[in-house]
Amino acid sequence: MPFLTDPFDDDKLREECGIFGVIGVQDASSFVALGLHALQHRGQEAGGIVSYAPGTGFNNARRFGYVRDNFTSASLMETLPGSLAIGHVRYSTAGSKGQTQIRDVQPLFAEFARGGCAIAHNGNLTNALALREELIERGSIFQSGSDTECIIHLMARSIQKAIPERMKDALRRVEGAFSIVAMTRTKLIGVRDALGVRPLMLGRVGDGWILASETCALDIIGAEFVREVEPGEMVICTAGGVESVFPFERQRPRFCIFEKVYF
């Protein structure tokens, strides 16, 4: 499917991919599997889950087909321990043409200087092709056809140290309609594009926090709907609570002194 030049060019209702993340609960990957099952209507081609546990590090499973056919296996879910996990169900709008390739199934994972990060996104990055060409010319080696991988390479080139700051740098370069869930070893991160075209919900279950494409994914696990993530907002969920920032806000224009004199 070609990239759209504008997020509003296609006026048909399409639910492109579903994303879900949870922090602060036991067996987080089981919550993610249930959430993805509720979001199955948003993507039926493939699904994936990444989790983190201090003893085993980051663990992931990516499979073709329905959530119910893959992530209901006890033996598989045992490989995804921890109290922090994110997941994705895929409806391909970018990446391999024709049959889906496993390399394009999200979440995608990368190791940075200060630790690993997994990321999954819903939507289209309308400048992904231009970014990809630029990054390849600068030496980046892409492993997939997913536009999500552009974000990872942009993060890798950021001079910031903390992963949320790297993500802010990267997302200021991308254009389009998107919502994102990402995770580090201690943080669950959600971002919504500046126009708020793609949905993202914040929920609460026990002492944990949830991010999901739709409230139906909160209902299935008995989570409380807190609010929508606002357009252009980044939420950073940790054991201590939720931090909110707006990385896409533009600074007020600074006028030259000669302009002030002239006017």
Tens of pLDDT, residue by residue over 10-22, are 444 445 799 999 9
pTM for the whole thing? 0.86
Reported as a single tens digit per residue, the pLDDT across 8-62 is 444 444 457 999 999 999 999 999 999 999 999 999 999 999 999 999 999 999 9
**Which domains does the chain show, CATH number per domain?**
18-246 (3.60.20.10)
pLDDT of residue 248: 87
Band (pLDDT 50/70/90 cuts) for residue 250 is low
Sign of the C-alpha dihedral, residues 44, 149, 200, 123? negative
Q: What is the rounded distance in angstroms from the CA atom of residue 79 to the CA atom of residue 45? A: 22
Q: What is the rounded distance in angstroms from the CA atom of residue 211 to the CA atom of residue 217? A: 9
Q: Are 73 and 79 in contact (CB under 8 A)?
A: no
Q: Are 233 and 245 in contact (CB under 8 A)?
A: yes
Whether residue 184 has pLDDT greater than 60: yes
* Catalytic status, residue 150: no
Whether residue 253 has pLDDT greater than 50: no
DSSP of 13-57, one letter per residue?
-----EEEEEESSTTHHHHHHHHHHHTGGG--SEEEEEEEETTTE
Q: Is residue 180 within a helix (H) or strand (E), and if so which, with residue range?
A: strand 176-183
Query: Catalytic: which of 17, 117, 150, 237?
Result: 17
Reported as a single tens digit per residue, the pLDDT across 108-163 is 999 998 899 999 999 989 999 999 999 999 999 999 988 999 999 999 999 999 99
- 68 alpha carbon, distance to own chain's centre: 22
Q: Are 219 and 37 in contact (CB under 8 A)?
A: no
Average pLDDT over residues 192-213: 96
Could you give the percent of the chain with pLDDT greater than 70? Answer: 86
Q: Is residue 170 within a helix (H) or strand (E), and if so which, with residue range?
A: helix 163-171
Residue 62: strand pairing partners = 48
